[in-house]
Structure 1
Amino acid sequence: MRRIFIITLMLALLLALGLPWVAQRMMEPRVREEGTIVRLYRHETDSVELISLEDYVTGVVAAEMPAVFPSEALKAQAVAARTYIVKRMVAGGLVNSCHEGADTCDDPSHAQGFLTREAMKERWGALKYYQYYYKIRMAVDDTEGEIITYQGRPIDPVFHASCGGHTENAEDVWKFDVPYLRGVDCPYETDPEPVRQMSIAKNQVEKALGIDLQSVSVAAGRDQIIKVVESTATGRPKVLLINDRRISASEVRQKLGLRSTDFSWQFKDDQVIFETVGYGHGVGMCQYGARGLAEHGHDYKQIINHYYTGVQINNINDN
């Protein structure tokens, strides 16, 4: 009796807060099929956990995209997340996987981020957890089984937070051409703070990049210490020349911890001040751009087809 009272009280609270769709979702009797099982390596427990595909996708979306984003953007992220893991499972797992017996892990620097339901509660708080979890779960359920394909095969659905107005061609960032990863305009990017500055001590830049900035002739001028010798199609630095050494902008970004490859710099005393635009590598789906497209009436399929050129959306359950 006490349990029934608590459940009734919770549903009433959700309705009072203006979340009837959450309450309705909780009241609906649902029998969820387990479907495909993902073998997920958890760094926290140092173990491989078995989790259903759709539960895995839910945890990825919660980790990788702000839950306040529109549902259509969350759906696009869900399809991308599902495609990522299905591509790896179809291939039989990564050949050089760091975690034996796992399809993927929960480290976003290695694969996709992932949040358990307990971690979601810690991130959002007890009350917002119910709102955000069921919002994300609905986005996952509404796209259940859907993946992005190119010529019948799952794509590598890379994404980033903010592109600064235009995404990049894959070969301009990673040196290999991918037909569905072409640069496109991003007209509605909603990043509230796309331009950032980061000051790094000159000796730290030297150590990180393995260069000697002090050896450059003073007569050459500070502006000539670092030169852009190749640019991307959108005008970002692609290859830099530092002390007669060619180094990619992607390597500079990685080693210095810059927010993006769209950067400029200036020297001030013993500091190098980098100014970056956007956040991430700039290839594939721009998350803040997806948010903007959704806010302008585009659905998730239109968002996906905007950022991934010439792709199709198929269901893995269709034979």
Structure 2
Amino acid sequence: MLRPVALLLLLLAPLRALAVETMRIAMGDVQNEVRVSGKGLSFGSDTEDARFSPLDQDSVVVRRRGSRLELNGAPVIGNAVRFRAGLDAGAAGVPSSSPLRAGDMEVRGDVVVRLYKDALQLINVIPLEDYLAAVLGSEMPVSFPLEALKAQAVAARTYALQKKLEAYGSPFHMGSSVLHQVYGGLNREDARTRSAVEATRGEVLTYELAPIEAYFHASCGGRTETGQNALGRALPYLQAVDCPCGRLPASRWSATVSDSELHSALGQSPHGFRVTSRTSTHRVNRVVTSGGASLDGATLRRKLGYTKLKSLGFDVERTSGGWHFNGRGYGHGAGLCQWGAKALADEGLSYRDILLHYYPGTELQQLY
């Protein structure tokens, strides 16, 4: 069995000469048709060595007709078609940097439309470094110090490559929502995010030579959480470390939850609702009611909503007709803390120092 690093190098090998690594990002599903547009539009099969044929038009409608695809009413061979913009259509195996629009999203790279269940699925095949420039603009305020943006770039690159390893052989590697990394396409790029990506090009974090699962979050509230407690992942480089974000107003939050909301989350009356156990970083591990309902903290947060219960670092008290939560942090708390990275960068730390603080025991390596 290949070690993760060996498999990653194998995946990269065909692209070494071109110095381009790509990601396949699921943009979402549409019903039975989608419009794809771009200047100098061409199409081909969904393979890395596909030959692209010009369409002589800048817009096309792809429809699903039963178990087949149609392109402007003409049948397409196979269950997927790949589009590329740009008059030269790019080199073989290298998606063009010219923008494409598919549905309501504008992206760089290629767009694949494929049959999926009873609908159509859109996949963006995009050079990794282009993808990262848009991810940074979606995941971290572009006004943050450059060293914080560079730390985020390395974490996002590492996370993406690790997910690509996990998804080897699948139609796509990651989604575009908060469940993976938020990806908003071309409109999320910025000159500062591109600068941060270019300054760290090809750099990844490894542990025992393999890319790590580089989780990150908005704010930990003063101390990060272990991977085991936050994610059920006992990873040696996801440890609880002190963080300066606890001093920032952005790390504090409050929320009011009605009896009916809590009743719905617990499945019974919230009478006697209380926290019964916490992790070593004081995050809520389990809650119970006097009626016997018992729920782990992560499930409670999911049921109440991640935007309402921003973290599990909270205290709760009874109010008239409801419950008041006072909390700290935003997110699961494991790995890189984005507001903490800003604070450390403001103190003069480099992105390398920031990364090694939040992922202890890891190494920064130049993969390509």
**How high is the TM-score relative to the length of structure 1?**
0.76
The answer to whether residue 254 in structure 2 is matched with residue 237 in structure 1 is no
Output the CA distance in 2 between the equivalents of 1:211 and 1:315: 53
Which residue of the other structure, out of 23, 39, 52, is the alignment partner of 1:38? 23
1:298 aligns with 2:349: yes
Q: Which residue of 1 aligns with 2:320?
A: 269
1:227 aligns with 2:257: no
SS in 2 for 1:149: strand
Shift of 1:84: 0.9
Identity fraction in percent: 34
User: What is the CA–CA distance in structure 2 between the aligned matches of 1:117 and 1:54, rounded to whole Å?
Assistant: 13
- For structure 2, the 5+ residue unaligned runs are 1-17, 29-101, 104-120
Q: Report the equivalent of 2:139.
A: 64
Question: Map of 1:156-175 to 2, 5 A cutoff?
Answer: 156-175=213-232
Corresponding residue number in structure 2 for 1:47: 122
Cα distance in 1 between the residues matched to 2:187 and 2:250: 30
Q: List per-residue Cα deviations over 1:281-311 (Å, max 9, x = no partner).
A: 1111110000000010100010000001100
From 181, 185, 188, the equivalent of 1:112 is 181
Contact 1:162 1:191 in 2 (8 A): no
| Letter matched to residue 226 of structure 1 | F
For the pair 1:309 / 2:360, whether they are aligned, the reply is: yes
CA contact (8 A) 1:181 1:309 kept: yes
In the TM superposition, what is the alpha-carbon distance from 1:49 to its structure 2 partner?
A: 1.5
Work out which of the residue numbers 295, 298, 302 in structure 2 matches 1:250: 298
Distance 1:119 1:136, change over 3 A: closer
Evaluate the alpha carbon distance shift between residue 93 and residue 112 of structure 1 in structure 2; reply closer, same or farther with a 3 A threshold: farther
Q: Tell me if the contact between 2:219 and 2:245 (Cα under 8 Å) persists in the aligned partners.
A: no
User: Contact conserved, 2:231 with 2:332, CA < 8 A, in 1?
Assistant: no
Which structure has the highest helix share of the two? 1
Q: Is the 8 A contact 1:189 1:292 kept in 2?
A: no
| Residue identity matched to 2:300 | V
2:255–2:324: 8 Å Cα contact kept in structure 1?
yes
Offset of 1:268 from its aligned partner?
A: 1.6
Say which structure, 1 or 2, has more relative contact order (CA 8 Å, 6+ apart). 1
The alpha-carbon deviation at position 277 of structure 1 amounts to 1.1
Q: One-letter code of the match for 1:253?
A: R
> Counterpart amino acid of 2:143?
V
Task: Describe the SS at the equivalent of 1:283.
Answer: coil
Partner SS for 1:280: coil
Paired AA for residue 344 in structure 2 = L
Name the Cα RMSD after superposition: 1.9
Shift of 1:189: 5.0
> 1:209: Cα distance to partner?
2.4
Instruction: Give the Cα separation in 2 of the matches to 1:49 and 1:172.
Output: 34
Q: How many residues align?
A: 257
Unaligned runs of 5+ in 1: 1-32, 95-99, 121-132, 217-224
Deviation at 1:241, TM superposition (A): 2.2
The one-letter code matched in structure 1 to 2:297 is A
Give 1:254's aligned amino acid. R
Q: For the structure 1 residues 119 and 172, does the alpha-carbon distance in structure 2 shift closer, same or farther, using more than 3 Å as the test?
A: closer
SS in 2 for 1:193: helix
> 2: CA distance between counterparts of 1:261 and 1:313?
30
User: 1:188 & 1:260 partners in 2: Cα distance?
Assistant: 14
Query: Residue 278 of structure 1: CA displacement?
Result: 1.3
1:188 CA displacement = 5.0
Task: Describe the shift of the 1:60–1:153 C-alpha distance in structure 2 as closer, same or farther (beyond 3 A).
Answer: same
Name the CA distance, whole Å, in 2 between partners of 1:50 and 1:285. Answer: 27
